[in-house]
Amino acid sequence: MTILLFTLGCGGVEDSGVPDRTLPGDDPMDTGITTITPTVVPAVWLNEVMPQNDSTWQTADGRLPAWAEIRNASEQTVSRDALTLNDAPLTWVDDGDQLAPGEIAMVELADGDANDPLTLAWHGTAIDSLDPGDPGPDYTWARFDALYPGDASGFALTGQPTPGYDNGSAPPSGSPDELFFEDYSRFDITLPQASWDALQIDPYTPMPATLGYERVFLPVTVHLKGVLGSLRTLDGKSSFSIDLNAARPGGTLRGQKKVKLNNMVQDPSGVHESLTYGLFRAAGLWAPRVGYAQVYVNGEYWGVYTNIEAEDDVFLDRNFGEHGGNLYEGAYGVDFYVGEETSFECDECAFPDDRSDITAVATVLDGEPTDEALAVLDTLVDMDGFRTVMAVEAVALHWDGYTTANNYRIYDDPGQGRFEIIPWGTDQTWIDEYYSPWSGYGRLLTFCIANPTCEAAYEDRLVEVADLAESLDLPARMRHLLALYDDDIVADPRVEWQLSTHQSYLSTTLANLQAGPQRVRDEVAAH
C-alpha cells in the first residue's frame, strides 16, 4: 500500500507536517512506503536574540531568562512542532500549536546555550542561524526592515530590546544604558504599607519596594531624595532614589545599579537639567545623563520626572575606567578648608578614612596665588577641567554649583592622581539674570581669578564654551524636549505651580539660551 501526502505550494496551512524521513512506526525497508520531503520552506526567522537578559523581559514566575523571538515572515501557517533550535524542541513562552503568517512569538533559551551558535530548523532542515557570542548584558541581536528587507541573512546589535514586538525599521544607536536615558520611560514604584509609613517618618532610610520598568518588576530599596527646597514627603511630589543592587545583589536595570527620579519642583520649565548637563558633556566634562519618565506609585500617576544618572561606581567606571579613588559630595558651603575635611560626604570611597587629598588642596589655597602655587595646585586638581566647569556654570547661569560651593562632586582620580570636578544640582540654571562669571566664592575659583595666568586661561575658556553653547542650538534642543513631555507636565497631578509659571520659566530660559553666549563674550571683553 502506498501513502500519498501533499504540501501546498503557497499560502494556507502547512498540511503535511512530515519531515524528511519515513513515517513513524513504519519499516523503512518496506518498498510500499513513500518518503515525502516538504518542498516549500517557509521564511521563519530568528527575529531577535537576547543572550544575557538582566532587565529586559521577565517570565510570569519572576525569572529573567535568555530569550529569542521567532518570526513567521511567510504567508503560510507553520506548525510549531516542526521547528527546532539546535536540534531540540523550542520552549515557547505562550500557548499554541502554530505560527500564523506575520506572527512573532517568544521562546526561552537555555542558559548554557544562550551564547552558543544557534540554528533554527524546520523539519530538520536548517533555515536560519546566529552566533550571538557574548555581546554583554541587555544587548540584543535584531533584524530591522530598513537593513534587511525581505532578507533573513543579517542582524544588527542594539541596546534597545523589543521582546515580543516588531523591531522597527532601523536600529537605534547606543548602548542599553545610553538608550535608557534617551527614552521617555515609565516607572512603576510599588511601596508596601510598612515602607510607606517608614518613609513618612524617615525619608532617607531605604525601604523595600518593587520597581516596574517595561516588562520587568524588580525588587529594590527606595528612599526619598532632596533637601531643603526639593525634598517632598509622600503626600507631595517626592523625588526617589532607587537601589537595584541592595535587594538583588548584582542586579541592574539597563546597566544601572541606581535610579534617580527628580521631581523638578524647583524647575517649572522642566528642561534645565537636560540642557545643562548636556552642555557639560558637550564641553568634554563628566556629567550625568538625563532622561524623562512618567512615574506611578502604587498604581497612581504621580507625574513627569527627570531620570538622572546616579554618580556612583557605575558612573565612575564608565567615565574613568576601573575606579579606585574617593568620590566626595560637596554641598551648602563645604569647600577645601584645612580642618574641615570630614565635611565632605564620601559617596564612593576606596579610602574612607584618608582625607589627605583634600588637605593637600586646602593647604595650597591657604597660601598666595602665585604661579608656583598654581603649578602645585595643578598637580592636585585638573585645573584645565575645573576652568571648563566654571565656564559652563557661567554660561548656564548655574549659581548653585561649585561657583557658590553649594552643589558639586569631586573625584580623586587615581588614573591622573588629582581631583576632577563633577557638576550636580542644575535644576535652577538659565534663569538668574544677575550672574557674573567672576561673582562666585568657591575657593578654587577665587584662587584662580586672583592669579593673572589662571584668570586669562579662564577668560579664554569662557569664550570657547560660549561659542560651543551657540553651536549646539540649545533653543532647538529645548523645543525637542518640550515635544516629548510638555502635555504631560501641564497635566501633572502633583505639580506645584500654575501653567502661567511654567510658561514664564520657559520664556526666561529661552531668552537666556539665545542671549547667553553673546552675554558672556561681552562680559569677557569688558572685564
Q: What's the chain's Rg over C-alpha atoms? A: 29
pLDDT at 324: 81
Each residue's pLDDT tens digit, 292-342: 999 999 999 999 999 999 999 999 999 998 768 899 999 889 999 999 999
Does pLDDT of 162 surpass 80?
yes
Q: What is the mean pLDDT of the chain?
A: 89
Assign domain 313-526 one CATH number from 1.10.1070, 1.10.1200, 1.10.10, 3.40.190: 1.10.1070
Residues paired with residue 212 on neighbouring β-strands, in sequence order: 188, 217
Each residue's pLDDT tens digit, 457-501: 999 999 999 999 999 999 999 999 999 988 898 889 999 988 999
Each residue's pLDDT tens digit, 25-72: 333 334 344 444 455 788 999 999 999 999 999 999 999 999 999 999
Q: Show the cell assigned to 229.
A: 527646597
Calpha distance 505→248 (Å, rounded): 41
Name the pLDDT band for 23 (thresholds 50, 70, 90).
very low
pLDDT at 277: 98
For residue 266, count other CB atoms closer than 10 A to its CB: 16
| CATH 1.10.1070 domain locations along the chain | 313-526
pLDDT at 186: 96
pLDDT at 297: 98
Q: Which of 119, 111, 127, 255 is nearest to 180 (CA)?
A: 255
Each residue's pLDDT tens digit, 194-246: 999 999 999 999 999 999 999 999 999 999 998 878 899 999 999 999 999 88
| 8 A C-beta contact, residue 4 and residue 107 | no
Does pLDDT of 6 surpass 70?
no
Q: Show the cell assigned to 360.
A: 593637600
Number of Cα atoms under 13 Å in the Cβ half of residue 257: 14
Calpha distance 15→242 (Å, rounded): 53
Please give the single-letter amino acid code of residue 524.
Answer: V
Calpha distance 484→65 (Å, rounded): 32
Backbone φ and ψ of 359, nearest 5°: -60, -40
Q: Is the pTM of this model over 0.75?
A: yes
To the nearest whole percent, how much of the chain has pLDDT over 90? 76
Each residue's pLDDT tens digit, 258-272: 999 999 999 999 999
- Summarize the confidence of residues 431-440 as an average pLDDT: 87
